Amino acid sequence: AQSVTQLDSQVPVFEEAPVELRCNYSSSVSVYLFWYVQYPNQGLQLLLKYLSGSTLVKGINGFEAEFNKSQTSFHLRKPSVHISDTAEYFCAVSVNTGGFKTIFGAGTRLFVKA
Amino acid sequence: EAGVTQSPTHLIKTRGQQATLRCSPISGHTSVYWYQQALGLGLQFLLWYDEGEERNRGNFPPRFSGRQFPNYSSELNVNALELEDSALYLCASSAGLAGYTQYFGPGTRLTVL
């Protein structure tokens, strides 16, 4: 069975500071990896995804993530955050089980302070 | 290209009533997924439809049901509403069984009084 663990439920950070949101997964088969962002009272927006190739993936809004197969991690990073980055961030994995099944982490609330 | 759309945006019902939520996927997408996001909780998987068939179901009682129409749009029906059904219901679509990326709609906020 597959699982996704987001290690921090909340991450407070000051504006213009760097941030890392951690995500670990477990799976016995190959996975595709995703990060989504959810602003208050909205749906989820795809930030970035890792399918194959380069382990460093760049997404929208200046975010990037690095796939580490040996550590089964897919941490999300941004070198300098803005107030507008305050949102809920979800890590997700997709596995092919005769059709893709996607499992979401519990989410990490990023709170950017002035 | 239009994204995933959901209607209504907000829905207010009373206990025991039925609610119907609608979702239109991105053009060309054949899979539709439904999730429940209650306050303070993550995304709970409800249902997955592809090509008109139910492919998978989450751990929800039978009063949560749905269907997918020939144009790939979908309905989620919740019967005998309970207070704890109050949540944001999110719909996502993907390009069928080979679609590993889900794209989400804005959600329907269901409030049960």
Q: What is the pLDDT along chain A (114 residues), one digit of tens a residue?
A: 788 999 999 999 999 999 999 999 998 888 899 999 999 888 899 999 998 888 999 999 999 999 999 999 999 999 999 999 999 999 999 887 766 778 899 999 999 999
Contact across the interface for B98 and A100, Cβ inside 8 Å: yes
CA distance B6 to B33: 12
The beta strand positions in A1-114, using DSSP E, are 3-6, 10-14, 19-21, 23-26, 32-38, 44-50, 56-58, 64-68, 73-78, 87-96, 100-104, 108-113
Residue B1, pLDDT above cutoff 90 = no
Buried b (16+ CB within 10 A) or exposed e, A20-59: ebbbbbebeeebbbbbbbbeeebbbbbbbbbeeeeeebeb
Q: What is the pLDDT of residues A41-52, one digit of tens each?
A: 888 999 999 988
CA distance A82 to A63: 12
Mean pLDDT of B47-56: 92
CA distance B102 to chain A (A): 8
The beta strand positions in B1-113, using DSSP E, are 5-7, 10-13, 19-24, 31-37, 44-50, 53-57, 64-68, 74-78, 87-94, 103-104, 108-112
Determine the straight-line distance between the first and last CA of chain B, rounded to whole angstroms: 37
What the block records as the tokens of A51 is 């399918």
Which residues of chain B are within 8 Å of residue A102 when distances are taken between CB atoms?
33, 100, 102
Average pLDDT score, chain B: 93
Contact across the interface for A96 and B100, Cβ inside 8 Å: yes
CA distance A103 to B33: 12
CA distance A25 to A40: 26
CA distance A102 to A110: 23
In the block, tokens 């390009």 appear at B95
Of A34, A42, A100, the CB nearest to B99: A100
Q: What is the pLDDT of residues B12-51, one digit of tens each?
A: 999 999 999 999 999 999 999 999 999 877 888 999 999 9
Torsion angle in degrees (nearest 10) through CA of A36, A106, B67, A31: 60
What the block records as the tokens of B43 is 């995304």
Residue B104: pLDDT band by 50, 70, 90 thresholds? very high
State phi, psi for B72 to the nearest 5 degrees.
Answer: 75, 0
In the block, tokens 């990037």 appear at A64
* pLDDT > 90 fraction of chain B, expressed in percent and rounded: 80
- pLDDT of res. A101: 79
The residue ranking higher by pLDDT, B101 or A66, is A66
Other beta carbons less than 10 A from residue B74's beta carbon = 25
CA distance B57 to chain A (A): 11
Maximal CA-CA distance, chain A: 47
